């Protein structure tokens, strides 16, 4: 019976997800059309531009429940992957019952009030020629969270069905209920916190994250919990959350996120990486360490054209790793070069990290993209120099490969494979750097370019577009649900005095900006061991923004330091996400020990690059301010 109900509820999310994936394609075409009409024919339309961000809203709002159905709401799975099936089921039930559903019900109540107010006031666009009936898009917030609650109920039923030990669930609920009673007694008797609630809030969030609860729901649930138990806050502070969410929905900078993801996924399926790796491997194979150098170069090209770290690491581990091991490469160097090169997408434009940092720090994404070029090139150069040096002094680590094929033919093949993605990169990034187009417009043009490239390789198909659009919905919804949860967390955190505490600590107790920079970089580096860049960008970075301003630190430079630091966090053992991607796709080809051994020198190179940019900050402005 439970399975039948769950299946029926799943179908709702299934069709909303499919609808959202259609909107991904429509958004890409609309943005390209709008940009073409405005730049070539000077025939722009306010209504069309507003329609674009309404469709963007529909993508992630309708996708929230679809992402939950497919378990795409990211969690820190350091310990979770080792849990028994019973423990995983209980975690899922608790996550839905105690975190997601209570938060969603409160959010729904406030969102409904916001929608009704818009309807009664006959709210329309503030711009002449804009869309009317603004309450409709606000009402989509309500509908999306209703779907999210419905899917949460389905997840509870599915988890309960998988649970073999029902007594364990009962014991868990008794334990949770006991803790709740103790907390209520402490609150009712107005007992003072033994620790500042700010620290308790961060501590509880970290414990739940490491326990395997979904990241977005942890931030949302912890915010709700402390709003309830704290006399200084109260539930009133979260009444503004739907308005904050609506502000996110109208942020045209964030519209670039699904478009760049869509472009990257199309390129992932076009087999561009495979052709690049094979041709570049032949091109540099005659040099010691040549295969590893080709991996670095291809990783840089993939970073500049796709920007998706997981896809780059997986693709290169599937294609390049067997080739490198076959030709006698050290497993450590092979895995280290693949993992490090695959994470270049964190820094090299069009980086999703830079787009999010630009939004959170109120900076121009185009300025950040320009500033990240030199640090990206610096990392590539350091990687190649390291590979050349280690292979020169240790000939067995990365032997040269002899080939009977004429080198002239190899060069022609390599040029043929490299030119199309380089042209795409030049069009996408060049239009942003030159100020011709916005990031979202360039991303939409990049989508069309990716389709053309796939067609030229004969790999374009309906299934490719279907896969790319559906995965875009999942990834985009995951990111924006974390943003909603992190916004709730920040509202309560600041109401508890966390922002003032941080400002006082860094500006008063630290004393100078260099101490602040050092401590901040260290904290972000350590947090990167445990949690993903998205959580750090949405929760930690907003706390730092006013402190950066108080010290008169160059915000663009500081954002680049954060991006470089976050890239290093992808490699740090034992929890670096790139290491999980590599091990998962490589299987038994390399040991975990070899992967750890291989990435450590590259982490050192990333920290060296970070130090160089700290010492020589003007390097980021070589391509202009």
Q: Give residue limits of the domains in the chain.
A: 2-249, 256-621
User: What residues contact residue 430 under an 8 Å CB cut-off, 6+ apart?
Assistant: 436
Output the pLDDT for position 507: 60
In this model, does residue 192 exceed pLDDT 60?
A: no
> Taking Cα atoms as reference points, which of 187, 247, 176, 170 lies closest to residue 211?
176
- Distance between CA atoms of 370 and 347, rounded to whole angstroms? 11
- Distance between CA atoms of 297 and 341, rounded to whole angstroms? 8
What are 92-145's pLDDT values in tens digits?
Answer: 999 999 999 999 999 999 999 999 999 999 888 877 778 888 899 999 999 999
Higher-pLDDT residue of 65, 529: 65
What are 135-191's pLDDT values in tens digits?
Answer: 999 999 999 999 999 999 999 999 888 888 778 888 888 888 887 777 667 666 655
Mean pLDDT of 313-341: 82
Peptide bond preceding 574: is omega within 30 degrees of 0, i.e. cis?
yes
DSSP conformation class of 102: H
- Distance between CA atoms of 334 and 341, rounded to whole angstroms? 11
In this model, does residue 509 exceed pLDDT 60?
A: no
What are 264-320's pLDDT values in tens digits?
Answer: 788 778 877 677 777 777 777 777 888 888 888 888 887 777 665 556 676 677 777
- Distance between CA atoms of 366 and 261, rounded to whole angstroms? 17
In this model, does residue 508 exceed pLDDT 70?
A: no
Output the pLDDT for position 511: 63
Angle at 41 between CA 36 and CA 42, to 5 degrees: 100
Q: Please, what sign has the CA dihedral across residues 471, 473, 474, 479?
A: positive
What are 78-92's pLDDT values in tens digits?
Answer: 677 788 888 898 999
- Distance between CA atoms of 544 and 556, rounded to whole angstroms? 13
Number of residues assigned to the chain: 625
From the number of C-beta atoms within 10 Å of its C-beta (0-12, 13-18, 19+), residue 122 rates as: exposed
Runs of H (alpha helix) within 230-330: 241-249, 256-269, 272-284, 290-305, 309-326
Q: What's the longest Cα–Cα distance across the chain?
A: 84
The answer to whether 489 and 223 are in contact (CB under 8 A) is yes
Q: What is the 3-state secondary structure of 107-125?
A: HHHHHHHHHHHHHHCCCCC
Half-sphere exposure of 561 (CA within 13 A, CB side): 27
Q: Any bridge partners for residue 75, and if so which?
A: 214
How is residue 459 written in tokens?
A: 């790999």
User: What residues contact residue 114 under an 8 Å CB cut-off, 6+ apart?
Assistant: 138, 141, 242, 243, 246
- Distance between CA atoms of 246 and 114, rounded to whole angstroms? 10
> Taking Cα atoms as reference points, which of 282, 345, 350 lies closest to residue 314?
345
- Distance between CA atoms of 332 and 600, rounded to whole angstroms? 10
- Distance between CA atoms of 46 and 125, rounded to whole angstroms? 10
In this model, does residue 394 exceed pLDDT 80?
A: yes
Peptide bond preceding 196: is omega within 30 degrees of 0, i.e. cis?
no
Q: Please, what sign has the CA dihedral across residues 383, 385, 390, 395?
A: positive
Q: Any bridge partners for residue 214, and if so which?
A: 75
> Taking Cα atoms as reference points, which of 138, 132, 140 lies closest to residue 50?
132
Angle at 436 between CA 435 and CA 439, to 5 degrees: 75
Most confident segment among 311-315, 521-525, 599-603 = 599-603
Mean pLDDT of 532-537: 72
- Distance between CA atoms of 502 and 393, rounded to whole angstroms? 48
Least confident of 210-214, 275-279, 438-442: 275-279
The answer to whether 258 and 56 are in contact (CB under 8 A) is yes
- Distance between CA atoms of 473 and 468, rounded to whole angstroms? 9
Q: List Cα–Cα distances, 67 to 17, 55, 514, 539, in angstroms.
A: 8, 18, 41, 21
In this model, does residue 468 exceed pLDDT 60?
A: yes
Most confident segment among 254-258, 304-308, 585-589 = 254-258
- Distance between CA atoms of 387 and 322, rounded to whole angstroms? 18
SS3 508: helix
Question: In the structure, what pLDDT confidence band is assigned to residue 506 with cuts at 50, 70 and 90?
Answer: low
Average pLDDT for the chain: 83
Q: Any bridge partners for residue 230, and if so which?
A: none
Mean pLDDT of 482-508: 77
């Amino acid at each position: 019976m439970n399975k039948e109900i769950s299946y029926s509820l799943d179908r709702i999310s299934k069709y909303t997800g499919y609808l959202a994936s259609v909107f991904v394609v429509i958004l890409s075409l609309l943005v390209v059309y709008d940009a073409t009409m405005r730049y070539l024919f000077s025939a722009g339309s306010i209504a069309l531009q507003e329609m674009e961000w309404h469709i963007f809203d529909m993508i992630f709002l309708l996708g929230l429940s679809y992402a939950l159905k497919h378990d795409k709401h990211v969690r820190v799975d350091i310990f979770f992957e080792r849990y028994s099936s019973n423990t995983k089921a209980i975690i899922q039930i608790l996550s839905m019952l105690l975190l997601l559903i209570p938060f969603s019900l409160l959010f729904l109540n406030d969102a409904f009030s916001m929608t009704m107010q818009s309807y009664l006031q006959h709210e329309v666009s503030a711009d002449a020629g804009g869309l009317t009936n603004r309450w409709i898009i606000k009402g989509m917030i309500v509908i999306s969270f209703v779907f999210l609650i419905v899917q949460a109920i389905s997840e509870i039923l599915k988890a309960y069905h998988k649970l073999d030990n029902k007594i364990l669930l009962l014991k868990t609920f008794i334990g949770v209920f006991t803790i709740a009673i103790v907390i209520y007694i402490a609150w009712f008797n107005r007992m003072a916190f033994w620790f500042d609630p700010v620290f308790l809030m961060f501590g509880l969030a970290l414990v739940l994250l490491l326990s395997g609860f979904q990241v977005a729901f942890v931030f949302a649930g912890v915010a709700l919990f402390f709003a309830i138990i704290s006399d200084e806050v109260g539930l009133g502070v979260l009444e503004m959350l739907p308005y904050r969410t609506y502000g996110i929905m109208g942020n045209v900078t964030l519209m670039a996120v699904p478009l760049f993801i869509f472009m990257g996924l199309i390129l992932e399926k076009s087999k561009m990486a495979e052709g690049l790796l094979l041709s570049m491997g032949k091109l540099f194979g005659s040099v010691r360490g040549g295969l590893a150098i080709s991996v670095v170069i291809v990783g840089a090209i993939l970073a500049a054209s796709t920007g998706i770290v997981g896809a780059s690491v997986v693709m290169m581990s599937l294609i390049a790793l067997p080739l490198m091991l076959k030709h006698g490469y050290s497993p450590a160097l092979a895995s280290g070069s693949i993992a490090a090169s695959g994470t270049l997408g964190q820094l090299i434009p069009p980086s999703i990290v830079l787009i999010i940092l630009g939004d959170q720090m109120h900076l121009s994404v185009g300025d950040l993209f320009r500033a990240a070029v030199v640090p990206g090139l610096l990392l590539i150069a350091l990687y190649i120099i390291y590979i050349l040096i280690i292979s020169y002094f240790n000939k067995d680590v990365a032997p040269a490969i002899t080939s009977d094929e004429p080198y002239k033919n190899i060069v022609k093949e390599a040029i043929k494979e490299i030119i199309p993605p380089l042209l795409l990169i030049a069009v996408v990034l060049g239009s942003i750097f030159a100020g011709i187009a916005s990031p979202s417009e360039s991303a939409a043009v990049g989508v069309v370019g990716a389709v053309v490239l796939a067609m030229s390789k004969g790999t374009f198909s309906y299934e490719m577009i279907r896969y790319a659009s559906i995965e875009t919905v999942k990834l985009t919804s995951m990111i924006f649900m974390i943003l909603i949860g992190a916004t709730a967390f920040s509202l309560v955190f600041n109401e508890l005095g966390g922002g003032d505490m941080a400002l006082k600590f860094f500006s008063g107790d630290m004393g100078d900006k260099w101490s602040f920079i050092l401590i901040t970089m260290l904290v972000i580096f350590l947090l990167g061991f445990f949690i993903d860049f998205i959580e750090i960008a949405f929760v930690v970075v907003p706390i730092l923004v006013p402190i950066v301003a108080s010290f008169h630190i160059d915000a663009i430079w500081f954002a680049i330091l954060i991006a470089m630091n976050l890239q290093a966090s992808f490699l740090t053992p034992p929890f670096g996400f790139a290491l999980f991607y590599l091990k998962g796709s490589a299987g038994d080809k390399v040991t975990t020990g070899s992967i750890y051994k291989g990435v450590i020198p590259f982490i050192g190179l990333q920290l060296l690059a970070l130090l160089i940019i700290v010492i020589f900050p003007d390097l980021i402005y070589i391509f202009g301010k």
